[in-house]
């Protein structure tokens, strides 16, 4: 029984840990990528140092070879002159330089192997880092899209119905306003023409639109004369 309870507690603790990790997955991923990038930068620096040291070792090796050649020529000259004591001293120096040459060549071989391994490691790590960075950007975009979808799904159908009805009323009112404006424009046409004709008639242009007092009196006199 005790083992069962302990197992359940461990299971709940693991579930809680996973829940926390899931809630903070995005910032956790970003921090892990930053730490990985820093580690790669450190490896790149170590690679640069190893390459510089190997170049220095090669330079020293070239100097050793040059000194060996020079000492061998001078030793041969000393031997030809019968100066065995000086020749032995030079030979001892040559033996020391040859040991240095061998050590330098071994060091270069070790540097070359380490540099090759480190270069391969750095290249692989850089590729993985770039893939992680692309994955992070995709995850952020997906997370943003999911939040938008979640926000959109929170809009109730009733709200959508209300909005559609409001839009329909707005369109009806705009249509009515357009119709009234068209009728007013049609009404303004004839009235504007009638007013213009009236002004022209009053100015003596064309037949008058109504009888004058003189016209009425003349018509009445004519009727009076006809009955006399």
Contact 50, 115 (CB under 8 A): yes
Q: What is the pLDDT along the chain (228 residues), one digit of tens a residue?
A: 556 555 655 655 555 555 555 567 888 888 888 988 898 899 899 889 989 999 999 999 999 999 999 999 999 998 998 898 998 998 999 999 999 999 999 999 998 999 999 999 899 999 988 998 888 888 888 877 777 666 555 555 556 666 777 777 777 777 777 676 665 565 555 555 556 666 676 666 766 666 666 666 667 677 767 776
Neighbours of 52 (CB within 10 A): 10
Q: What is the pLDDT of residue 112?
A: 92
Please give the Cα distance from 160 to 169 (Å, whole number).
14
Q: What is the pLDDT of residue 202?
A: 67
Per the document, the length of the chain is: 228
Per-residue tokens: 105: 């060549």
Q: What is the pLDDT of residue 117?
A: 92
Q: What is the CA radius of gyration of the chain?
A: 54
DSSP string, 186-197: HHHHHHHHHHHH
Cβ contacts of residue 104 below 8 Å, gap of 6+?
57, 60, 61, 64
Domains of the chain with bracketed CATH: 2-154 (1.10.287), 168-227 (no CATH)
Please give the Cα distance from 59 to 65 (Å, whole number).
10
Per-residue tokens: 116: 């090759």
Q: What is the pLDDT of residue 155?
A: 52
Tell me how far apart the 2 most distant CA atoms of the chain are, in Å. Answer: 186
């Amino acid at each position: 029984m005790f083992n069962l309870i302990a197992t359940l507690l461990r299971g709940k603790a693991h579930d809680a840990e996973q829940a926390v990790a899931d809630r903070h997955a995005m910032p956790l991923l970003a921090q892990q990528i930053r730490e990985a990038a820093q580690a790669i930068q450190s490896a790149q620096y170590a690679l640069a140092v190893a390459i510089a040291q190997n170049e220095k070792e090669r330079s020293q090796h070239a100097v050793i070879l040059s000194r060996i050649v020079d000492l061998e020529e001078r030793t041969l000259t000393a031997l030809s002159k019968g100066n065995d004591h000086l020749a032995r001293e030079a030979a001892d120096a040559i033996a020391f330089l040859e040991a240095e040459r061998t050590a330098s060549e071994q060091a270069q071989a070790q540097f070359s192997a380490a540099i090759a391994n480190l270069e391969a490691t750095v290249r692989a790590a850089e590729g993985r880092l770039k893939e992680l960075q692309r994955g992070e950007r995709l995850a952020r975009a997906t997370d943003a899209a999911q939040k938008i979808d979640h926000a959109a799904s929170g809009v109730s159908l009733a709200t959508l119905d209300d909005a559609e009805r409001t839009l329909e009323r707005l369109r009806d009112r705009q249509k009515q306003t357009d119709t009234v404006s068209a009728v007013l424009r049609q009404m303004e046409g004839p009235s504007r023409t009638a007013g213009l004709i009236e002004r022209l008639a009053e100015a003596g242009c064309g037949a008058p639109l109504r009888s004058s007092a003189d016209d009425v009196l003349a018509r009445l006199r004519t009727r009076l004369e006809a009955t006399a």
